[in-house]
């Protein structure tokens, strides 16, 4: 039940960010922020709390499906460079944010 509630909270935060920031930058932002939070949670929590927040909140906040669909849409619209930039930034910044979050805890 708590994973469900945390997931709903993460999804609501993602929805709010996607209303404020244009795609694909909104997806990049939520994925990098979620990666950072995940890194912090791995370093600072364990057990049920880690499960609830990582699986629930971070799972609801971040979105691989939106990332992949927006990447395909950019390519189909003839914006392959922007798609490639989005993919590269998501991978580099996401892994970097998770590592930084972990290191800080």
For a pLDDT cut of 90, what percent of the chain falls above it?
Answer: 91
Please report, for the chain, the start and end positions of each structural domain, with discontinuous segments joined by +: 2-104
pLDDT of 21 reads: 94
Task: List, in order, residues 6 or more apart from 9 with CB less than 8 Å away.
Answer: 56, 57, 60
* pLDDT of 23 above 90: no
Omega prior to 24 cis, within 30 of 0: yes
Average pLDDT, the chain: 95
pLDDT of 88 reads: 96
For a pLDDT cut of 70, what percent of the chain falls above it?
Answer: 100
Is residue 63 within 8 A of residue 30, CB to CB? The reply is yes
* pLDDT of 66 above 90: no
């Amino acid at each position: 039940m708590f994973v469900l509630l945390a997931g709903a909270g993460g999804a609501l935060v993602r929805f709010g960010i996607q209303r404020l920031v244009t795609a694909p930058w909104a997806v990049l932002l939520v994925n990098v922020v979620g990666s950072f939070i995940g890194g912090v949670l791995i370093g600072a929590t364990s057990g049920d709390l880690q499960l609830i927040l990582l699986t629930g909140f971070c799972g609801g906040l971040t979105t691989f499906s939106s990332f992949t669909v927006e990447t395909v849409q950019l390519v189909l619209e003839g914006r392959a460079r922007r798609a490639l930039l989005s993919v590269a930034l998501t991978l580099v910044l996401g892994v970097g944010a998770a590592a930084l979050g972990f290191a800080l805890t």
